Structure 1
Amino acid sequence: MAQDDRARSRAARDEPDGDRGRRGNPALTSRAAILAVVVCAIALSLAYPVREYIAQRKEIADLQHKESVARRQVDELAQRKQQLGDKSYIEREATRRLHYCRPDVKCYTVLGGGGEGEQEARKGRPPSKPPWYETLWRSVEAADRPR
């Protein structure tokens, strides 16, 4: 019986390409074509929702980042508000920035010295920015020079 099956398969292989050859090894069947169309339809129907999902996830991440930045700013402002409510801090700042002096404290003001430029000159560095009139005069001199 096994020999009969072998003989038939040899005979089928030896037959010229007829009806049997086309049915045995088709390149594209109608089932495969329908399957391909269904797969493409599913892929196309899922493409837009997936794209929207990804865009929404990115937007959520951006909003969470902005929220964390805003929370940090609120915390800093709350801390600053508390600091400005402290009387000793206000007195220190008034003394440092506005040169206010309490009646029971002796304050001194040094005239003609102690500025940033003088401190930098003492360290051996030139002042960071010359006065405006010096810059203006240098530009006038540079424009006057012949080329």
Structure 2
Amino acid sequence: MARDSENAAARDTAGGGERRANPALTSRAAILAVVVCAIALSLAYPVREYIAQRQEIAELQAEEREARKQVEQLAQRKQQLGDKSYIEREAKRRLHYCMPGEKCYIVLDGGGGNGQQASPGGPASRPPWYETLWRSVETADRPR
């Protein structure tokens, strides 16, 4: 041990008294840095694509859930429209149809038609579509 320290001291004095400093970046460290950068760059694109594909898969799964809900609603609506009693109720309610042998009345009281009475001073209700159509025909027929 003493001999090693003497050799080191002799080398220090023989080389002009200065010890040779290790360079900060050796060739091995430079090669290692280049290899690490190359690996990082080669992995960046596939990782980005993987993340984008996962996001797209999540969006498509959400769309699929929405489409399935819509299919279920349409299947229920199809079943409902296949029911003869439902069609008759809707024809009576919406189109004011009457079954043969029935006496139907339409009461024009200015109400909404759903058992609600029109509130005086409230907003004016829209006239029925046929009334609007007839008014437009009359307006078009008038000379200018």
Q: Distance in 2 between matches of 1:91 and 1:110?
A: 20
- Across the two proteins, how many residue pairs are aligned to each other? 122
What's the offset of the Cα at 1:105?
A: 3.2
Aligned partner letter, 1:82: Q
Q: Which residue of 2 aligns with 1:84?
A: 81
Which consecutive residues of structure 1, in runs of 5 or more, have no partner in the other structure? 133-147
Q: Quote the offset at 1:110 in angstroms.
A: 1.3
Query: Which residue of the partner structure matches residue 17 of structure 1?
Result: 18
The 8 Å contact of residues 121 and 127 in structure 1, kept in 2 or not, is answered as: no
Q: RMSD over aligned Cα, in angstroms?
A: 3.2
Aligned CA distance change for structure 1 residues 128 and 43 (closer, same or farther; 3 Å): farther
Partner of 2:35: helix, strand, or coil? helix
TM-score, normalising length: structure 1: 0.67
Letter in 1 for 2:77: R
Which residue in 2 is equivalent to 1:64? Answer: 61
Structure 2, unpaired ranges of 5+: 133-144
Q: Structure 2 length normalisation: TM-score? A: 0.69
Q: What is the aligned partner in structure 2 of residue 37 from structure 1?
A: 34
- Residues 104-134 of structure 1: CA deviation (Å, up to 9, x unaligned): 4332111353247x94533x5333779x9xx
Q: How does 1:108-127 map to 2 (within 5 A)?
A: 108-111=105-108, 113-115=110-112, 119-122=117-120, 125-127=122-124
Partner of 2:49: 52
1:103–1:6 Cα change, 3 Å: same
CA offsets per residue over residues 63-105 of structure 1, 9 Å max, x none?
1111111111111111100000001100100000010112343
Q: Matched residues, percent identical?
A: 70
Select which of 69, 72, 80 maps to 1:75.
72
Distance 2:7 2:48 in 1: 53
Determine which structure has the larger helix proportion and give its number: 1
- Counterparts of 2:64 and 2:80, CA distance in 1: 24
